[in-house]
Amino acid sequence: MLHAWEQWDASHEAYARCQALAPRNFECQYLDALVLQRLARHADAATRLRQSLTVTPDYLPARVALAEALFEASSADESRRLFESLLGEPRAEPAAELGLGRLDAAAGLHDLAIAHFQRAIALFPEFGAAYYALALSYRAVGKIEDAQRALALHAQFGTRWPAVEDPVKDAVLALRDDSATILRRGIALADAGDVAGAIAAHEAALARDPSLAQAHINLVSLYGRAGDYVKGEAHYRAALASGADLGEAHYDYGVMLGLQEKWDLAADAFRQAIALNPAHAQAHNNLGQILERRKDFDAAADEYRRALDAQPNFRLARFNLGRMLLALGRNDDAIAELAKLAQPQDAETPRYVFALSAAHLRAGHKDEAVKWALEARRLAVEHGQQELVAIIDRDLARLK
């Protein structure tokens, strides 16, 4: 309970007594380590985390926390080994890439650090801490404009972090019932895909504190995902009345209108979001998609470019830009954009690579088209995308 209410010194004392009574109790050691991190006692936290991992060696949040504690305690070599061991864990990979980037940046190896930060962002595009670290490394190598864009994205995404599911820590947080904690719980449920649970938590937070503007904003998106557009509209109006982060409110409202195929109203909402935050990459991308529906390909391409200016690692926006360039007959420009999507390789990469094949075919590069179609097929098989495999096979048969 002391931990839940952020009474760090007192909770550390209680956990220390717990460990004296039960030296092999994982929760006492792990939770004490989290408290020690908050107290900036990183070497002590690392000791506790090592002890906890002797009891439960596969607990992923503890492995991540140990790598981070060792970095803060200046144990760079051991920290690097642990971060590298986490690269094979999809849930922890963004944090591992950030950690490796921070280690390289601390050693003055900023080009290597930039590559790690970019991979972290590709894995989790709203990774605020990664954008901040990236900005510092860009500045160190003299890429001032890139640094400014990264800082703008850090300001947009703030403290968003790719959370690793941590039931031990969550059990502590569940002890609190204040509105801010319930709201954070609702956000975590939304990130985990539990829309109904997230809505219930947000409404509970508002019941305790009706002035929570962020809860109204989040509920616009949540009710949109649930298909309850009337309640989504009501929370949008409440968000506007609160005068909070109206850019995000307009964007979420635009998404909800798009789900209802109210394209003109959605476009207006995205434009309002952009007017308040010109670096809102998702709003530019979504506005581009509406313009594309209207066959206004030049204007759509401009919006996709603006999305990429704001967020260079926004892969969907780059894919959309490549498609628009193809539609405009600018095959070489389309190839240049789509080629950038071949890495990193994830479940989205097969369709990006297949689009690159189509662009080469449109440009008359048959050999390149076949090469990239085969690569797209390999990736589609690897990710179990049998429908895409069948489509690629039909195209390859025609090419041969």
* pLDDT surpasses 90 at 400: no
> 328 and 349: one domain?
no
CA distance 252 to 266: 10
CA distance 145 to 82: 33
Number of compact structural domains in the chain: 3
In the block, residue with structure tokens 């030296």: 23
Supply the CATH number for residue 283's domain: 1.25.40.10
- Same domain? 315 vs 348: no
CB 254 within 8 A of CB 273: yes
Residues 359 and 329 in one domain: no
What tens digit of pLDDT does each residue of 303-323 get?
Answer: 999 999 998 889 999 999 999
Q: What is the pLDDT of residues 70-89, one digit of tens each?
A: 999 999 999 999 999 999 89
On the 0-12 / 13-18 / 19+ scale of CB atoms within 10 A, 88 is exposed
Q: In whole angstroms, what is the distance from residue 367 CA to residue 228 CA?
A: 50
In a domain, residue 231? The reply is no
For the chain, the average pLDDT equals 94
pLDDT at position 186 is 92
Average pLDDT over residues 87-101: 95
Does the structure show a pLDDT above 90 at 108?
yes
Burial class (CB in 10 A: 0-12, 13-18, 19+), 349: buried
Final residue of a structural domain among 157, 175, 191: 157
- Rounded to the nearest angstrom, the gap between the alpha carbon of residue 170 and the centroid of all alpha carbons in its chain is 20
DSSP code at position 278: T
Over residues 246-271, the mean pLDDT reads 96
Q: How many CA atoms lie within 13 A of 38 on its CB side?
A: 16
Find the range with the poorest average confidence among 11-15, 239-243, 253-257: 239-243
Of all residues in the chain, what percent carry a pLDDT higher than 90?
Answer: 83
Examine residue 242 and state whether it is found in any structural domain, yes or no: no
Q: Is residue 291 part of a domain?
A: yes
Same domain, yes or no: 30 and 144: yes
On whether the CB atoms of residues 69 and 49 are closer than 8 A, the answer is yes
Looking at the structure, tell me whether residues 350 and 327 fall in a common domain: no
Looking at residue 394, its pLDDT comes to 94
Same domain, 16 and 111: yes
Q: Are residues 285 and 393 in the same domain?
A: no
Domain boundary among 128, 157, 186: 157
Amino acid 244: pLDDT: 73
- Helix then strand then coil, in percent of the chain rounded to 5, is 75, 0, 25
Residue 95, pLDDT > 80, answer yes
Residue 365's domain comprises 342-400
145 and 286 both lie in a single domain: no
Phi-psi region of 162 (alpha: psi -120 to 50; beta: other; left: phi over 0): beta
The predicted structure's pLDDT at residue 51: 96
The rounded distance, in Å, linking the Cα atoms of 339 and 321 is 12
Same domain, 15 and 83: yes
Is residue 212 assigned to a domain? no
282 with 375, same domain: the answer is no
Using the 3D structure, point to which of 91, 123, 157 is the last residue of a domain. 157
Both tokens of 318, joined, read: 């780059």
Closest CA to 181 of 216, 154, 215, 221: 215
Residue-level pLDDT at 177:
86
Spatial distance between the Cα atoms of 192 and 185, rounded to a whole number of angstroms: 11
User: What's the one-letter identity of residue 19?
Assistant: Q
**How much is the pTM?**
0.69
User: pLDDT-derived band of residue 188, with 50, 70 and 90 as boundaries?
Assistant: confident
Domain assignment present for residue 255? The answer is no
Q: Read off the pLDDT of residues 121-177 as tens digits, 9 standing for 90 and up.
A: 989 988 999 999 999 999 999 999 889 888 888 887 777 788 788 999 989 988 988
Identify whether 200 is part of a domain. no
On the question of a cis peptide bond just before residue 210, with omega within 30 degrees of 0, the verdict is: no
Q: What is the pLDDT of residue 29?
A: 97
For residue 190, tell me if it sits in a domain.
Answer: no
Confirm whether 233 is domain-assigned: no
The one-character DSSP state at 163 is P
| % of the chain at pLDDT higher than 70 | 100
State whether 319 and 347 are in the same domain. Answer: no
Give the CA count within 13 Å in the CB-facing half-sphere of 335.
16
- What pLDDT shows up at residue 71? 97
Residues 152 and 283 in one domain: no
